[in-house]
Amino acid sequence: MKARVTVTLKTGVLDPQGKAIEGALRSLGIEGVASVRQGKVFDIELEGTADRAKAEELLKQAADKLLANTVVENYSVQVLG
């Protein structure tokens, strides 16, 4: 079973990396970008779980414990089947 966990910064948390990318895009001549915020994505392959709900539970645990810093980051879990 495949799944994707997407981790993004919470609103209001500064993102200097995103700001740098904004500047770089502008200097490359790509106009029309108002803001950029960078996040992380984890493509996870699960084994031995046919149960979607169980898989989601497992991934939420993984995100809470390791993949995301829930003080400054949000995460979303998608089970792709």
Footprint of a copy of itself on 24-53 (CB under 8 A): 24-25, 28, 30, 32-49
Question: Cα(14)–Cα(20) distance, rounded to whole angstroms?
Answer: 12
Q: Is 73 a residue that touches a copy of itself (CB under 8 A)?
A: no
Q: Is 81 a residue that touches a copy of itself (CB under 8 A)?
A: no
Residues 6+ apart with CB under 8 A from 35: 18, 22
Q: Is 12 a residue that touches a copy of itself (CB under 8 A)?
A: no
- Cβ 71 to a copy of itself shortest distance, Å: 18
**Distance set, CA 80 to CA 14, 29, 41 (Å):** 31, 37, 14
